[in-house]
A and B are shown apart, each in its own frame.
Chain A
Amino acid sequence: MAEERESLREQQLYSFGRMLAGFSHEMKNHLGIIRESAGLISDYVEMNAAGLDPALSERLLKATAGIEQRVKLSADCCRALSGFAHRADTPLASFELGELAGESAVFLERFARLKQVTFVVESDGDAVLVNSPTLVHHLLYRLFFLVVDQVETNGTLRFISSPAADGALLRIVAEDAETKRIRLQVPDAADLAGALTAAAAAFEPAAVDGEILLQFATCSDAQR
């Protein structure tokens, strides 16, 4: 029964992933057309500058540059969404923790901004892991919300990934506005219980010198 539930959960994640991936591809197509159309307008304005009111010409070029800049930002969001969606393609996969955390950051950054906190994801070397990417995404999401409230206004929250002997290490560090380190409280394991399954059994939060350290283990053959 538990195996059936797990299989159904994986199928649901796969379906959601495929739908999200399709959506992000579609959005990128629209963005591509918007970007090229804005570029075409600026091309025509530049080519016909001699016959246009200089103030109008400047406004049009400013507007098209604004469109192109927003398209670029939107395309970056779509790329992150696409990467995120494709994580559900396989229940267990080899991935780089920093890259995966970077995808999460695109979606979590807004929540940090609403709390007037700067959220930064850094990589301290390739941290390649074999585990469930969707589960690790879920853990990062839960961890983010468990610690972001502890960061002061105008402070900075950092997720720093690095390689470890049998997997990967994630350091969670917070700083106040003067870049002085803040001591974070280690999340209660019970708060994360729902996110913990066999695939992430080796995930253990611990506090050392104001940092929260999380060890992510590569799954054993038996767990794959």
Chain B
Amino acid sequence: MKILIIDDEKEFAGTLCQRLQLRGYEVAEAYSGAEGIEELGRFLPQLVLLDLKMPDMSGLDLLKAIRDSWPAVRTVMLTGHGSGRAAEEALRLGAEKCLMKPVELAELLALIEENAEDGGE
């Protein structure tokens, strides 16, 4: 399964990327909305892990762009506390789920497997 992590926290994205790669997933990283869009077109992931807040573009705007241009791609939002309304909006826009940071890896892995079984692979 191909997973794209879009998060401006490079260390977080890089470490999570390695942990997922160790578990056999093909993973790429992008550190901004613009880079994310570029990588979506190049890497063609089945699942995107998307940070809600980034400097150049909000996660919600990027989610809309993904829905419009890559409708088959599934998106899981990574949020912080106090982002309740944005999380609700993300779910309304078609995100699979919103996970609160720091992310529980077991929960994330279960979600990835769930999506793989539903046809993401």
B81 pairs with A83, CB closer than 8 A: yes
A36 pairs with B19, CB closer than 8 A: yes
Residues of B within 8 A of A (CB): 9, 11-12, 15-16, 18-19, 22, 80-82, 100-103, 105
Stretch at the interface among A74-82, A123-131, A176-184, A209-217: A74-82
Inter-chain contacts of B9 with A (CB < 8 A)? 29, 32-33
Residue of B12, B18, B19, B105 touching A29 (CB-CB under 8 A): B12
A82 pairs with B81, CB closer than 8 A: yes
Give the interface centre of B18, B80, B81 by most chain A CB atoms within 10 Å: B81
A35 pairs with B81, CB closer than 8 A: no
Inter-chain contacts of B102 with A (CB < 8 A)? 28, 31-32, 35-36, 71-72, 75
**Could you list 11 examples of A-B contacts with CB < 8 Å?**
A24-B81, A29-B101, A31-B102, A32-B9, A32-B103, A36-B12, A39-B105, A43-B19, A72-B102, A79-B100, A83-B81
Complex: how many Å from CA A43 to CA B105?
12
Within 8 A of B (CB), among A12-48: 21, 24-25, 28-29, 31-33, 35-37, 39-40, 43-44, 47
Residue of A nearest to B105 (CB): A39
Q: How many residues of A contact B (CB 8 A)?
A: 25
Inter-chain contacts of B105 with A (CB < 8 A)? 36, 39
Majority secondary structure of chain A interface residues (helix, strand, loop or mixed): helix
B101 pairs with A32, CB closer than 8 A: yes
B15 pairs with A25, CB closer than 8 A: no
**Min CB gap B109→A, angstroms:** 11
Inter-chain contacts of B11 with A (CB < 8 A)? 33, 37
Residue of B nearest to A86 (CB): B82
Q: Any chain B CB within 8 A of the CB of A140?
A: no
Complex: how many Å from CA A78 to CA B12?
18
Complex: how many Å from CA A31 to CA B81?
13
Complex: how many Å from CA A29 to CA B16?
13
Given contacts A29-B101, A32-B9, A32-B102, whether A82 and B15 have CB atoms under 8 Å apart is no
Complex: how many Å from CA A29 to CA B105?
15
